[in-house]
Amino acid sequence: MGRTPLIDRRDFLKAAGAGFAAAMAPTAWAAALEADAVFATAYVRHGGGYGAAVLSEEGKLLYAVDLPNRGHDVTFDPVSRRAVVFPRKPGTVAVAFDHTRRERPATFACPSGRHFYGHGVFSPDGALLYATENDFDNAAGMVGVYDAGGGFRRIGEFSTHGVGPHELLLAGDGRTLAIANGGIETHPDFGKAKLNLSTMRPSYVLIDRLSGDLIEKHELPPELHKLSIRHMDVDRAGAVWFSCQYEGATTDRPPLVGRAARGSELELLDMPEKVLNRLRNYIGAMAANREAGTMAVSSPAGNSYVVFDTASGGVVSATDLAEVCGIAPDRAGFMATSGAGAITRPGAASVSAPDYVWDNHLLRIGGPA
């Protein structure tokens, strides 16, 4: 995979189905791309260079775009069918691309005095893009608002009411943003140094994306102030699940997964000690499979991912996979990608692309789940 042309159309068509494949015209190929689920992720090439890829369910590279810096998460707008890949912090340049190739990739930057945190989300109509950002001189979390129809011009910003925001998502009402304020202060002058670990106070906030008003803010109990809330997804019942990375002692075993319901305190999930040990105080990504009623969390530090039943909160499975991080719903389970180049999915042999380090997040785009 690594040294062949990035888009192996023949292989893709073979995988897409026998008979018609050979004669499939480019438009039909595009249609196949529309109908089937595809998965987007940022990557690092071992040989050098950063990019974002769209993979088929079979793990074939369907589309790739170069990135100026290391990417992090990808967000997708089903209206315009465009995706945006954000840089990992402290990157300042995001890239919008259309994996069906109707448009050329476009880059846009956050303003000076800000950097991206790696996550963003479109408004339901695709008109606006919201991104978590750092007002680093003031150590203040911000959401940058971009005009998606106008070349991603930045048209505003509002506070996240916390430090170090990471993932954000849009609630089912299409109006409320849920934001994980990780609580960790960093500044580009000092690389990745965490500047406030002894006093960090992560929070989970709900913000009206139209007014920027704070609707709710929740913190963890003081003894868990080093539990950085970082990633989220919504389960089948509409509840927001969140997952954490712990900045305290190596041998502490705090809970790492929780649920947030409107108007209620954050709820942390108990899990068996053996399962918790697998997560090594570090969850790198989480994703729901709403059809299956499950939620997966991945730990590259613990080399495993764990799937929960979202109704009961019980553990469904725990799977070993070296350096796993990217995770996305696929059929009745999850597709997972790793820093060692592996792509695994339910009921199929895993694919290896050893030249690729798949980055932290994997996004499912389209297709029946």
Query: Where do contacts with other proteins occur on this chain (CB under 8 A)?
Result: 44, 46, 72, 88-89, 118, 139, 187, 189-195, 197-199, 245, 248-251, 253, 273, 277-278, 280, 282, 284, 299-303, 322-323, 325, 338-340, 357, 359-360
106 vs 340, beta carbon nearer other proteins: 340
Question: Which residue's structure tokens are 């930057």?
Answer: 109
Q: Between 147 and 355, whose beta carbon lies closer to other proteins?
A: 355
List the structure tokens of 13.
């068509």
204 touches 193 (CB < 8 A): no
Our CB check for other proteins shows the closer of 234 and 325 to be: 325
Task: Give dist(CA 303, CA 307) in Å, integer.
Answer: 14
d(CA 41, CA 355): 15
In the complex, the smallest distance separating the C-beta of residue 188 from other proteins, rounded to whole angstroms, is 10
Q: Is 308 helix (H, G, I), strand (E, B) or coil?
A: strand
Least separation in angstroms between CB 103 and other proteins = 29
With contact defined as beta carbons under 8 Å apart, do 323 and 340 qualify? yes
Decide whether 128 or 306 has the Cβ nearer to other proteins: 306
| Contact partners, residue 307, CB within 8 Å, separation at least 6 | 294, 295, 296, 315, 316, 317, 318, 319, 333, 334
- Closest to other proteins by CB, 162 vs 339, is 339
Which of 325, 273, 326 has its CA nearest to residue 299?
A: 325
Do the Cβ atoms of 169 and 219 come closer than 8 Å?
A: no
> Min. distance of Cβ 89 from other proteins in angstroms?
7
Coil, strand or helix at 121:
strand
**In the bound complex, what is the minimum distance in angstroms from residue 323's beta carbon to other proteins?**
4
* Neighbour order of strands in the sheet with 71-77: 71-77, 82-87, 93-97, 106-109
Nearer to other proteins, 142 or 357 (CB): 357
Our CB check for other proteins shows the closer of 27 and 251 to be: 251
Kindly report the number of other CB atoms within 10 A of residue 82's CB atom. 23
Nearest-approach distance from CB 88 to other proteins, in angstroms: 6
Rounded to a whole number of angstroms, the minimum distance from the CB of residue 199 to other proteins is 8
In b/e form, how buried is each residue of 353-368, taking b as 16+ CB within 10 angstroms? beebbbbbbbbbbeee
CB of 354 to other proteins, least distance (A): 9
Question: What are the strands of the beta sheet with 333-338, ordered from one edge?
Answer: 324-330, 333-338, 342-344, 351-352
CB of 125 or CB of 252, closer to other proteins: 252
Closest distance between other proteins and the C-beta of residue 80, in Å?
27
For residues 60 and 119, which CB has a smaller minimum distance to other proteins in the complex?
119
Q: How near is the Cβ of 358 to other proteins at its closest, in Å?
A: 9
State the nearest-atom distance from the C-beta of 182 to other proteins, in Å.
10
**At 207, phi and psi to the nearest 5?**
-135, 135
d(CA 156, CA 58): 40
Terminal alpha carbon distance of the chain:
26
Coil, helix or strand for 260?
strand
Nearer to other proteins, 180 or 292 (CB): 180
